[in-house]
Chain A
Amino acid sequence: MPMRFPGVGPPRAALLLRSEHLVLLLSAAAALAFWAAVPGFASGRNAANVLQNTLPLLALAIGQSFVLIGGGIDLSVTASIALASVVGASIMTGDGGPLAGHPMAVPAAVAAMLGVGGAMGGINGLSATRLGMPPFMVTLATLTAGGGLAVWYTKSQKIYELPDAFVGVSYGSVLGVPPAAVLVAALAVVAHVALSRTLFGRWLYASGMNPRAAEVSGVPVGRVTAASYVVSGLCAAIGAILYTSRLETGSPEIAPRILLDVIAACVIGGTSLFGGRGGVRRTAYGVLFIAVIDNGLNLMNLSNFAIMIVKGGVILLAALLDSARARAAGRA
């Protein structure tokens, strides 16, 4: 028996399905449900906590969105994070780092982290475009090699004694807001403008939608696609900066299982795995949705297994919704 809501006919439902704000509405619905079920969920403190938890995930998901919109996929995110984390930490650590105590230690370490992320992205991008290798295989290979390199570089040791200025990225305050939040907000704005207001953004959508047609129209598909991997690598480095400062530790296994959340956030937000569709705002909604679900489930009196099953089910439902949206948009 189909459900009918008064005043909401099929056209409106289709409109709602197609709306890029759908996932925000779903996040709000989930938040309301948790508000009713979980004491403390709606506290200002918990809301701030959820938003803070989304910061590294949002940085990573923005980078992944660029690659997905361009029709690729980047599985090497966790290796880029690990490698950037250990390289940066080893430069600035007070425990024998070459720049220990030097005023330039933190800027140099941050530059090195961004360099590592950019280099990983460059390798992925060039392999996928110049050598014509499938992105899935390329980034799987760099995931394995990069992870191995991070372990070899540190001999599996974690790196401590990081400077206060670096730890302050997560624990400091700029007008009452942690610098990490300012950093990610700036990243989101720049990424949004790049995708929606620049020639590069238009080229990237065109390359992801139909690379051949784009090539014929004069779009430098190879260069644009390669650049999207570099963006993803740089975003992974920003994620590494946030994770490393938050835990005050450089580690070759700093966020070993974040990849699924990154890709899930993008797809739930409405970025297509087939290229050509997506955006920063959608991804931000997806990240918010994942963070609300994660936080709410953790605060419910549920067993860990139940939490895992529910979270998996919710991601599956969101994916189903995504295909329904694609159909509603006339793009099955």
Chain B
Amino acid sequence: MRSRAGIALALAALPLASCGGGGDAPGGPGPKTVGVAFETLQTEYWVVSFESIKGELEGRGFTVLEAIADGDANRQFEQVQGFIARGVDGIIVAPKDAKTVIPMIRAANRAGIPMVLYNRPPADSSAEAVTIVADNYAIARETVSHMARLAAEAGGAHKAMILIGDLADQNAVDRRRGFDDAIEEHGGGIEVVAEIPTEWNQEKALAGVTNALQADPGIDFIFTSSDFLFPSLVSALRSAGKYEKVGEPGHVILGGFDGDATAYRMLRDGYLDADGVQDLGFESEQTVRALADLIAGEEVPPVIEDEGFVIHQGNLDEMAPRMWGAGVGGD
């Protein structure tokens, strides 16, 4: 069988021997190729973003390569290395966190391939990439400020809870900071009694909220750092008999962040008070525009911010057309 193995190895080596260079050299003729590597498609936000970015790229005549890492930073690293080896003209990454993306940016830098980070900024380093990110701090702060005004109108003391995301994700850190500062600015009357670390995981959110509501049934002010945790939050509130509409006795002041279809439905049905919305259309359009500019050799600022907006019961009809979740067919 040794001869057979030799033949097999020779066959495997054939393609390598016949073209030792790269694939399509970046900047070569023909349609340009862009690799899009997303950490996850776990939530609506990521799915809609992914489709939206692909649509924008194809609209500009790019060939798109897809890769989803399923929450595994190592897999994402391999996928990005694969794009680089293939000789793509540009790479878009929605990274898992701020730090593990740095080796990926460095690899792209070494290969001279422009990279744009979608939605999550990298940690400080010498690696160069353009980041498109929502102003998480400001949007969270405005959302929670609106909730605090509602609490003040209702009068009395309030007990607050926040669902925190994965603290390795800068966005989760900024949203928490926005929450804390809004509560502090409000100047008393709201005491934060529970912080639930969810690590962006629905099961952990459900267990944490359930325990917190049992430990302190007086909680009447809840902000979740992401709308995709609403199903867990609502389930725990229902179990505790605390899921009531705005204006009804026992209503818990609720706020969220993202602007997904569940949040839109809860706003429309009168359960949700306020939601900080990321302007997903703007973010995906800017991501593709930035990459196209980089590929064309133009200067692009290192960070492009989406200012987002707060949607609430008072401006629902006016702002709903700009809320991406309102167009996702939330029944």
A interface residues, Cβ below 8 angstroms from B: 16, 19-21, 24-25, 27-29, 31-32, 35, 38-49, 52-53, 56, 156-158, 160, 243, 246-249, 251, 253-258, 294-295, 298-304, 307
Residue of A42, A158, A257 near B97 (CB, 8 A) is A158
A304 touches B21 (CB 8 A): no
Chain A residue nearest to B64 (CB atoms) is A301
A41 touches B23 (CB 8 A): yes
Identify which of B1, B4, B15, B84 gathers the most chain A CB atoms within 10 Å of its CB: B15
Chain B residue nearest to A303 (CB atoms) is B66
- 25 A/B residue pairs, CB under 8 Å, sorted by A: A16-B4, A19-B1, A19-B4, A21-B4, A25-B11, A28-B9, A39-B23, A39-B86, A43-B86, A44-B20, A45-B22, A45-B84, A47-B16, A49-B84, A53-B78, A158-B99, A243-B74, A248-B100, A251-B168, A295-B82, A298-B67, A298-B82, A299-B65, A304-B41, A304-B67
A233 to B63, CA, bound (A): 43
Contacts of A157 in B (CB 8 A): 167-168
A-B interface, 10 closest residue pairs, ranked by CB to CB distance from nearest: A40-B23, A42-B15, A46-B85, A35-B15, A40-B86, A28-B12, A49-B85, A28-B11, A21-B5, A25-B8
Additional A-B contact list (15), CB under 8 Å, known A32-B14, A156-B199, A302-B66: A31-B15, A32-B15, A38-B23, A44-B21, A47-B16, A248-B99, A251-B168, A255-B72, A255-B74, A256-B72, A300-B65, A303-B66, A304-B41, A304-B66, A304-B68
Chain B residue nearest to A21 (CB atoms) is B5
Contacts of A254 in B (CB 8 A): 73-74
| 1/0 contact string of B81-98 vs chain A (CB within 8 Å) | 111111100000000010
Contacts of B100 in A (CB 8 A): 158, 247-249, 251
Q: Is B60 at the interface (CB under 8 A from chain A)?
A: no
B interface residues, Cβ below 8 angstroms from A: 1, 4-5, 8-9, 11-12, 14-16, 18-24, 41, 63-68, 70-75, 77-79, 81-87, 97, 99-100, 102-103, 123, 166-168, 197, 199
Contacts of B74 in A (CB 8 A): 56, 243, 246-247, 254-255, 258
A40 touches B24 (CB 8 A): yes
> Do A25 and B23 contact each other (CB < 8 Å), given the known contacts A254-B74, A301-B65?
no
B22 touches A246 (CB 8 A): no
B79 touches A298 (CB 8 A): yes
A251 touches B73 (CB 8 A): yes
Chain B residue nearest to A255 (CB atoms) is B74
A256 to B39, CA, bound (A): 13
Contacts of B75 in A (CB 8 A): 257
Contacts of B19 in A (CB 8 A): 42-43
A32 to B11, CA, bound (A): 8
A53 touches B168 (CB 8 A): no
Contacts of B23 in A (CB 8 A): 38-41, 43, 46
Chain A residue nearest to B3 (CB atoms) is A21
B4 touches A25 (CB 8 A): yes
A48 to B16, CA, bound (A): 10
B103 touches A43 (CB 8 A): no
Contacts of A302 in B (CB 8 A): 66
A24 touches B8 (CB 8 A): yes
Chain B residue nearest to A49 (CB atoms) is B85
Chain B residue nearest to A244 (CB atoms) is B74
A40 touches B87 (CB 8 A): yes
A303 to B22, CA, bound (A): 24
B166 touches A256 (CB 8 A): no
A44 touches B16 (CB 8 A): yes
Residue of B16, B81, B102, B166 near A53 (CB, 8 A) is B81
Identify which of B14, B16, B24, B84 gathers the most chain A CB atoms within 10 Å of its CB: B16
A21 touches B22 (CB 8 A): no
Contacts of B71 in A (CB 8 A): 253, 256-257
Contacts of A295 in B (CB 8 A): 82
A47 to B19, CA, bound (A): 11
